[in-house]
Structure 1
Amino acid sequence: MDEITATLLAVGLVFVLLAVGVPVFASLALAGVAGIAMVEDLNFALLRLKSFSYTQTAVYMLAVIPLFILMGNFAQKAGVGQRLFGVARKWVGRLPGGLAIASVLTSAGFAATSGSSVATAATVGSVAIPEMKAAGYDRRLSTGVVAAGGVLGVLIPPSVLLIFYASLTEVSAGAMLVAGVLPGLLSTLVFVLGIMVVSRRIMPAGAQRAPSYGWGERLRSLADAWQVLILFIVVLGGIYLGLVTPTEAGAVGAFVAFVMLLFSRQARPKLGARLKESFRSSINTTVMILMTMLGAGIFSYFLTLVGTPQAIVETVTALDLPPLLVIGVLLLIYLPLGMFLDAFSMLVITMPILFPTVHSLGFDPLWFGILAVKMCEIGLITPPVGLNVYVTAGIDKDTPLVDVFRGASWFLVMEAVTTLLIFFFPIIVTWLPAQMR
């Protein structure tokens, strides 16, 4: 069968399998095997797949993924999220939409201990949503801000998605993590300003503001944020100064978070159960990521086999368009993909196709990686498969799913603003990695 027909049939098969409820990793794997068999034969496909799972996952860099996930689970069980929300509420609670702003700041702080957007949304949501509901906040804002704040978990290091991108493109994992710092802070700032604007328009007249706290109490409250500060210094500080590799930083960070959990007063009564739950959650998430990586990797191998990346590079080069316009068009591909696929699947499918084009045009891979992750963030709160929205709806069962999506839609606009700023000002991404030792 010719390559174009095989490609169209394989891509169509992916959407058919997804439509009938087949898991994403299985849909991609089956479509990839079918495509390889159509171009070559089934024996060739089976021969190539015999060692595929080992060669794809037996990578030293990928060991950091379960370590970062475990660190986040330990931090969550140690009560880091609750303490951070208490600190943020004392500092910004009196502002318009102060509790919503506190939720975003808590999400940003917790993201510095966890590489998962779902864990960030679940941890902050369980603390912040009841507080906002009790204060009379609009339910769309109270749930939307938690769903959107969770996306900071895949941008602010230690981010599993940034490590994943580095492993796919062979970019320095340490530089990739450091590159996420300033964009993460920018995203947080845009969210805060956006909440202040939105809350003035939709906040009910009867909504309560948090009590006012003096400067002395605010400064004393910062002592509750020491855990986040230590983990941030241990992980990112060690990478930035060149003292440890990302994998070593993940191991040290997981150990430090483990010690924090052991000495946590909140966790001590049920320490055994919390440890067991942390390990189980870390294993489940790691297996999910690796299975997605395998399924999407098989499909990507098929696309490489038929020469799709090379064909796209040649086509784009022949169009003679402005390079920046080409990058913008490539990023728009993530919008429809984000409606149906998770972030890991999107990166595994698209990087073998898009990254050669980015490389041929001479753009910084760190800059494009942050932009790609930002587009994946948007997918996490975009209907119909906005994973963070479903997590938030599960926390607040009184708010309809439609209202959660409506609340998250305001943050889609804010995400677009941040992405455009990064797109036109690459120095936001590239400056800090350039200072690394």
Structure 2
Amino acid sequence: MSGIEIGLASLAAILILIYTGMHVAIALALVSFLGLWLLRDDPGQAARILSLASRESISSYLFGVIPLFVLMGLVVSRADIGRDTFDVANRAFRRISGGLGMATVGANAIFAAITGVSIASAAVFSKVAVPEMVRIGFSRRFAAGVVAGSSILGMMIPPSLLLILYGIIAEQSVGQLFIAGIGPGLLLAVAFCIGIWVMVRFFSGFTGIPKPVVERRLSRGAAIRDTASKLLPILLLVGLVLGGIYGGIFTPTEAGAIGALGAIVIAAAKRRFGPRALWSVTLETGHITASICLLIIAATMYSRFLALSGLPVFLTEWIIGMDVGIYGFLLFYVAVLILLGTILDSSSIMLITLPLVLPVATALHMDLIWFGIITVLAVEIGLLTPPLGLSVFVIKGALDDSTISLNDVFVGAAPFAFIMLLILILIVAFPWITTGML
């Protein structure tokens, strides 16, 4: 077999192994070892190449950003700051048609700026927002769909673990990726709010008809104090982390450390976080970090194997020879990402596809920051698509409500997946949304 044939066979082998239940990192490492063995006809040399790749893969100072942002997100989630955010957003949107759904989107947008994890948002707001929306008359499928759609903001609005992962694989500035994610993230949040208003106004059979909400009346001063006590700590944390990065005061890794410390101080000041909770989230941070680092090591091994097989070079020359141009390539690439999203999780999709497509994107002279935003958004659409739809499964598990089926959540999330696709088309058509250059 030629190197190209071995490379193509490796792609099929990885998908088959993952689909049959093997862990993604193990599948990548195993296929990389077997592929190099076939290429070099020497298992010892294959082992040495992969050993070198694994040592180089996570030795960078930049990798410190992973556990720090994970810790910050877990502390914020455990301290019930998501509920505080939802209460403030609900007060702001309560007079608008579909206001509670918009409040969920707004709260998720703010929550995303301090967690960076879609799954965390999905778990928190499933328990906070869905019961409230159902209580006032929204349909169960619509309520679950709003949470599923808006939870995606956690991977677009910085800090985002997927943007960090892309930056590491593509060797791009994480700070620049964070800045590039702001415009698309806010645009997506606004589009979700507009979509909710349209659905509530014109498709009440799908959304349900909300009843007027009777709320406990607060004096003007009490309402201001309550809003300030809930919103001010969140804004301080967001300003500390993102302001430090964009102002050039902190590197992303230093900002992660400052943010994690700030989250612990805020949670402790609210008396929602003690030594036992800190120990628990520290252990969980270690587990998550180890899992992510194992994925990165395996992805580096696979990238090294692909480079030696010659498949990326062959693919680059083939696509350029077809003369499909940037938009033809992006159309095919996005279609593949969304298709893979029906069976794989976000990290797995990026780890498998990026080593192949990055040389093509570079050869086509594409802005790799813009390309990264397109990649993350297209991959995130997969979180809402059956049969896997990871966010959908998280929401179903967090709700623990037999009256809301998995199919209900998928149907409710479908309009939001369509809105994401429209925003993706806008970002492709108008790159300045991410790059900021007119």
Identity across aligned pairs (percent)? Answer: 36
TM-score, L = length of structure 2: 0.93
TM-score, L = length of structure 1: 0.93
Q: Does 1:183 align with 2:184?
A: yes
Is the contact made by 1:383 and 1:405 (CA closer than 8 Å) also made in structure 2?
yes
The CA RMSD measured in Å over matched residues stands at 2.1
Q: Counterparts in 2 of 1:157-196, with a 5 A limit? A: 157-196=158-197
Sort the Cα spacing of 1:287 and 1:208 in 2 relative to 1 into closer, same or farther, 3 A.
Answer: farther
Is the contact made by 2:138 and 2:208 (CA closer than 8 Å) also made in structure 1?
no
Partner Cα separation in structure 1 for residue 338 and residue 284 of structure 2? 29
Is the contact made by 2:58 and 2:293 (CA closer than 8 Å) also made in structure 1?
yes
Unpaired runs of at least 5, structure 2 = none
Partner Cα separation in structure 1 for residue 213 and residue 193 of structure 2? 16
For residue 156 of structure 2, what is the aligned residue in structure 1? 155
For residue 387 of structure 1, what is the aligned residue in structure 2? 390
Q: Does 1:255 align with 2:256?
A: no
Q: Which amino acid aligns with 1:411?
A: F
1:425 aligns with one of 430, 433, 438? 430
SS in 2 for 1:50: helix
Partner Cα separation in structure 1 for residue 170 and residue 325 of structure 2? 24
For residue 241 of structure 2, what is the aligned residue in structure 1? 235
1:340 aligns with one of 338, 343, 348? 343
Sort the Cα spacing of 1:181 and 1:206 in 2 relative to 1 into closer, same or farther, 3 A.
Answer: closer
Is the contact made by 2:4 and 2:311 (CA closer than 8 Å) also made in structure 1?
no
Partner Cα separation in structure 1 for residue 63 and residue 366 of structure 2? 25
Partner Cα separation in structure 2 for residue 16 and residue 352 of structure 1? 19
Q: Counterparts in 2 of 1:95-244, with a 5 A limit? A: 95-200=96-201, 201=203, 202=205, 207-211=210-214, 216=220, 222-223=227-228, 224-244=230-250
Q: Which amino acid aligns with 2:296?
A: M
Unpaired runs of at least 5, structure 1 = none
For residue 294 of structure 1, what is the aligned residue in structure 2? 297
Aligned length: 430
Sort the Cα spacing of 1:92 and 1:402 in 2 relative to 1 into closer, same or farther, 3 A.
Answer: same
SS in 2 for 1:383: coil
Partner Cα separation in structure 2 for residue 205 and residue 299 of structure 1? 49
Is the contact made by 1:138 and 1:203 (CA closer than 8 Å) also made in structure 2?
yes
How far has the Cα of 1:237 moved from its partner?
Answer: 0.9
Partner Cα separation in structure 2 for residue 204 and residue 172 of structure 1? 41
For residue 20 of structure 1, what is the aligned residue in structure 2? 20
Q: Which amino acid aligns with 1:148?
A: G
Partner Cα separation in structure 2 for residue 240 and residue 93 of structure 1? 33
Q: Deviations over 1:220-269 (max 9, x none)?
A: 5541211221122111111111111111111111111111121113x15x
Q: Deviations over 1:73-125 (max 9, x none)?
A: 11122221011110111111232222221111111110011111111111222
Q: Deviations over 1:286-333 (max 9, x none)?
A: 122112222333223222211111111111221223323223322222
Is the contact made by 2:8 and 2:311 (CA closer than 8 Å) also made in structure 1?
no
Partner Cα separation in structure 2 for residue 55 and residue 230 of structure 1? 37
SS in 2 for 1:113: helix
How far has the Cα of 1:59 moved from its partner?
Answer: 1.5
Q: Deviations over 1:345-364 (max 9, x none)?
A: 22222222212222222221
Is the contact made by 1:98 and 1:210 (CA closer than 8 Å) also made in structure 2?
no
